[in-house]
Structure 1
Amino acid sequence: LHQLDWIDEKTRAVFIQLTLYNPSVQLLTAVTLLAEFLPTGGIYTTAHFEPINFYTFQSILQLVCTILYIFFIIYFMIIEIRLLFELGLKYFHQFWSIIQLGIISCSLGSIGVYFWRFQETNRISQLFEQTNGYIYINLQLAVYVNDILTFLLGYCCFFSTIKFIQLFRFNQRISLFAETLKYCAKELISFSLMFAIVFISFLSLFYLLFVSKLSSCSSLLQTAQMLFEMTLMKFNASQISGADAFLGPFCFTLFMLLVVFVCLSMFLSIISNGFHHAKENQKEDQIMLSFMLKKFLRWTGLKKLNQTEIQEERDCRMRSQYVDSIDIFSNRIDQLLEAFDKIYVDQQVELLRLEKAGV
């Protein structure tokens, strides 16, 4: 390249792009090799491989499932549009409405990007057929479209997984989890803002003090990673102490006190308070569903009782059959008073009858 004057002393980077095709698995691979000439005289090399499979539907089952999924998305979209017209702006105040909009938008976007990729696939196929593969085919646009489709499908799976929490809302544990987050959402948002301010302040402190002394503080991203590891109690204290005899232990101690002990304690307190509130206000239908499911598993024999559960069931039966006299004392008193009232009323009626008869 240097002899043919492709590169000289002013060259800063050399890109080598090639396309590989494996006919046995029908897989295309876009390869990009980069050699970057640094101002210091060194060469920094990177390699990037992007495998692409344009054959999405490899069986009839995949095609049928995709068509059914599209019909479901259209059905849910009609339902959400009706709810939007009925509720107005209140529709956007509901958390599950936002999740549903995320699923619908990502799904529709995936369908549109898929047709875009299908068009790009036809263009590449026609070019390959015309040239018999003897020219270089640039797959950068195809790789870009494929990455967008992958991102949209990933977000669609993310929103759909969160949607399962609503589908499993009758489960007692999942319901407690959702109600806990719902109750302490405002407190968590306020705590997140406060924690972000504190964390960014320590991020700036560690980066400016130890950028030239620690490899883990060579960039803001690596410094943030180190601080998160310190929050999880995964750190190397000797490395920080070796960076500076006074500032290292001082900053480390200050971070542990403010972030680990104070901030995390506040976070656990918020979650604990929300959990107790959600447990006290637990809905009755969730308890009934758990009871019905437990009884169904016992009747069908899918779940066998252990000795503890058998003993608890026997105790419940004995408690239901045993009646304490103190518990029924108030009922007996009420019955006695009702009997006295009845006798008194009967006597008054009899006296009135005798007076009318002149006796």
Structure 2
Amino acid sequence: MTVYVDDVLTSLLGFCCFFGTIKFIKFIRFNKSLIIFVQTLKYVTKDIISFSFMFSIVFMSFLALFYLLFNSNIESCSSLLSTSQMLFEITLMSFDATDFTGADPFLGPFCFSIFIIIVVFICLSMFMSILNDGFHHVELNSIEDQQILSYMLKKFLNWTHLRRPNVEETYEIRDSRMHSQYVDPIENFPDKIDQLLEALDRVY
């Protein structure tokens, strides 16, 4: 009983450490790459969930197929857990095809080829397409937080003289100062009209 409780507490501690570490993302949320990553995951969440259901059905179908066909001939298919592990390794392109050939000269290579075509080529291509579409959508949108941070950082460096402004920034600063000293008369025209009308009201 004590060992079981210790295992449960260790598992809970692992989850707490995981979620606690994930929260550190908030401290670096102004990083451009991280913002794109988070926004991409938010954008493709629904598509990923739909894809996960579809992939689970396909994977469970192949799991049943490989387990029922090769459980007595291939050691890695002796149980459902080991069969699923083997299929995941095949998905990651880590496999030994000679086991299937030795188990059955026709069904082995045939089932293996179908799994490679459907899961590795089609399903993984769909998954990458979903992520790629979300990435391009997020990349095209303007990232305001990154722009705000860049503006604040640039102003701070200029204020502390840690960074010298370039020629364009120098002209912008000079123009803003000139504009603050000499206001365009056209901008004051509505105020002058209001003052004129008030003066006419006082006279009449």
Shift of 1:174: 0.9
The aligned residue for residue 235 of structure 1 is 95
Mark the runs of 5 or more structure 2 residues left unpaired by the alignment: 172-204
Contact 1:170–1:289 at 8 Å: present in 2 too?
yes
Higher RCO (C-alpha under 8 Å, 6+ residues apart)? 2
Distance 1:221 1:250 in 2: 22
In structure 2, relative to structure 1, the CA distance for the partners of 1:206 and 1:293 (3 Å cut) is farther
Which structure shows the bigger proportion of residues in strand conformation?
Answer: 1
2:64 matches 1:204 = yes
Contact 1:172–1:290 at 8 Å: present in 2 too?
no
The aligned residue for residue 105 of structure 2 is 245
Alignment of 1:89-100 (within 5 A): none
* Partner SS for 1:236: coil
**What is the identity percentage for the equivalent residue pairs of Structure 1 and Structure 2?**
59
Shift of 1:165: 2.2
* Partner SS for 1:199: helix
2:28 matches 1:177 = no
Distance 2:47 2:97 in 1: 33
Counterpart among 156, 170, 186 of residue 46 in structure 2: 186
Shift of 1:300: 5.4
Q: Which has the larger radius of gyration?
A: 1
* Partner SS for 2:85: helix
Shift of 1:242: 1.2
Mark the runs of 5 or more structure 1 residues left unpaired by the alignment: 1-139, 302-315, 322-359
In structure 2, relative to structure 1, the CA distance for the partners of 1:176 and 1:213 (3 Å cut) is same
In structure 2, relative to structure 1, the CA distance for the partners of 1:258 and 1:146 (3 Å cut) is same
What amino acid sits opposite 1:248 in the alignment? G
Distance 1:181 1:214 in 2: 39
Aligned residues: 169
Alignment of 1:208-227 (within 5 A): 208-227=68-87
Shift of 1:288: 3.6
The aligned residue for residue 190 of structure 2 is none
- For the aligned residue pairs, the C-alpha RMSD in angstroms reads 2.9
The aligned residue for residue 26 of structure 2 is 166
What amino acid sits opposite 1:242 in the alignment? G
The aligned residue for residue 272 of structure 1 is 132
What amino acid sits opposite 1:234 in the alignment? S
What amino acid sits opposite 2:108 in the alignment? G
In structure 2, relative to structure 1, the CA distance for the partners of 1:233 and 1:290 (3 Å cut) is farther
Contact 1:171–1:290 at 8 Å: present in 2 too?
no
Shift of 1:168: 2.2
Shift of 1:317: 4.9
Distance 1:293 1:258 in 2: 49
In structure 2, relative to structure 1, the CA distance for the partners of 1:292 and 1:195 (3 Å cut) is same
The aligned residue for residue 260 of structure 1 is 120
Which structure shows the bigger proportion of residues in helix conformation?
Answer: 2
Shift of 1:222: 0.6
